[in-house]
Structure 1
């Protein structure tokens, strides 16, 4: 009885935060990232409690777990796309794990998938040299790179000409942005990498709030990178509420994890491609990058 009660209280605390839209502190933000696992655990806990005839515990937990499942389930289904008839653009994002990711594999993925814009997170000066040797800049000759030692560097490489911008607010890690000229269509791209909420929840919320919102009267905007956030964080949903479409959610791939590439801690989805609501998402995939702790994400888009 005591064990069931303790587990029920823990489950209800996390579920309530998710349902009312509060991220809280470093600990609760970390727990909210595990919401899909929490929902499954709640169903099991409710069923076991009912089987043991602890009616109140089982009933309350099961009702809340079902409410949580109802919130989560839509991310497994594709959504209707806007009527876009412009050019195609393939955007890929890869966290390079402190510059340790295998650059040959990254360049191979760029070539095999005909990537047009590549956002690189945790980009180091040494890795920039290795990417050049591997031939990245033959495929993507234009770039806005801000490499740093450690995990703070980022960069954008493109098949099309780039104009450097400053769209993201102040952040502890580099979040470069640029305007891409795609056959006459202007597209603004940000390489996103806010600080993790487990490091400083307040700073994470501030950096997420500093990301630009879509502008229906201006150029198309695309945010791609390691958001250190899942759809179960209210802070991330606020960004979606500003008008962006999550490419994974749009294609029914919202449960596909991107970090870590191993099985512990439990894999979650913190890498995203967010697109202007005028953009159609034709496809979305998660790709393995050897020696990185993240999977890369790639979206094929049709511009308005």
Structure 2
């Protein structure tokens, strides 16, 4: 019964609400971990039910329940990641009313500059966000495309740089004057006011360590407050280090800021980890393109050589 209760509690972690900032700092990472890993709770629940069947029903029923448990437990971990690799696709040709966004965490700027530029060029991206980039890498992408790097990429920490590149022809004098780093997150936080929308590049703290959780909670709240005060169409793209299972992200993408997670959701193709960890497939969707005032027309994920994240893209209708 304990395993059943634990499975139910863990599986329902995404609906607990915002408890993260109420847990003592030493254990504060546990809540976001349990929420992001809710499929493990489902697997635990199924395994506990299978064990209960072995204790109470016939051997034939027990064998069937065990097989079902193995299938479900495997599916909750492996299927989402496998689907994200199978679901990789490049967008189709776009029309003049479509804004195409590409976001790639470059994993401490280890992703191939050439591959990033080729991907942006082939998909005809209008805006590119590169968390964990470098000035050298972002400049190389800009030089190989018709995109303009809006500000020097921060070097204050190894992964602190977030590059924001925009189609050169969109950078009017007014747009250029609006470029800023809002410092709402630990990492570089570039923003620009374009003619048809406001665009922000995002990279937040990762709530995987106790000393970073409070900062993550604060950053998500600050992003939500800022977004709520922006007039007109708004796009926020990058590595939020959050999944839809985290109420902090749902509050940002929910009623208070009225944002839509284009291509996201609890069962969306995960983006991390694709490299650098023992996990054979990605299991979490940490990267998002949040939109307000524009219609999400299409979206997808793309593998990126040298990064532990999949890239994400979205077609937005003006």
The range that moved more, 89-98 or 193-202, is 193-202
* Residue 209 (1) aligns with residue 225 (2): no
Of 180, 184, 190, the match for 1:176? 190
Give the Cα separation in 2 of the matches to 1:86 and 1:50: 59
SS of the residue corresponding to residue 248 of structure 1 reads: coil
CA spacing shift, 1:50–1:145, aligned 2, 3 Å: farther
SS of the residue corresponding to residue 114 of structure 2 reads: helix
Of 275, 291, 302, the match for 2:291? 275
- Residue 151 of structure 1 is matched in structure 2 by 159
Give the Cα separation in 2 of the matches to 1:290 and 1:220: 32
Give the Cα separation in 1 of the matches to 2:5 and 2:35: 15
1:46-85 matches, within 5 Å, as 46-53=49-56
Of 7, 13, 26, the match for 1:11? 7
Give the Cα separation in 1 of the matches to 2:166 and 2:302: 19
Give the Cα separation in 2 of the matches to 1:188 and 1:165: 10
CA spacing shift, 1:130–1:140, aligned 2, 3 Å: closer
Give the Cα separation in 2 of the matches to 1:128 and 1:213: 26
1:19-38 matches, within 5 Å, as 19-24=15-20, 25-38=28-41
SS of the residue corresponding to residue 263 of structure 2 reads: helix
TM-score (norm 2): 0.73
Structure 1 residue 155: deviation in Å? Answer: 1.5
- Residue 88 of structure 1 is matched in structure 2 by 98
Runs of at least 4 residues off by over 4 Å: 165-169
Give the Cα separation in 2 of the matches to 1:125 and 1:177: 17
- Residue 124 of structure 2 is matched in structure 1 by 114
SS of the residue corresponding to residue 141 of structure 1 reads: strand
* Residue 191 (1) aligns with residue 210 (2): no
| 1:145–1:154 CA contact under 8 A, matched in 2 | no
- Residue 23 of structure 2 is matched in structure 1 by none
Of 5, 19, 39, the match for 2:42? 39
| 1:23–1:235 CA contact under 8 A, matched in 2 | no
Aligned length: 263
* Residue 247 (1) aligns with residue 262 (2): yes
1:111-150 matches, within 5 Å, as 111-132=121-142, 135-136=143-144, 138-148=145-155, 149-150=157-158
SS of the residue corresponding to residue 31 of structure 2 reads: helix
CA spacing shift, 1:86–1:100, aligned 2, 3 Å: closer
Aligned CA RMSD, in angstroms, stands at: 3.0
| 2:149–2:163 CA contact under 8 A, matched in 1 | no
SS of the residue corresponding to residue 120 of structure 1 reads: strand
Unaligned 5+ residue runs, structure 1? 70-75, 77-84
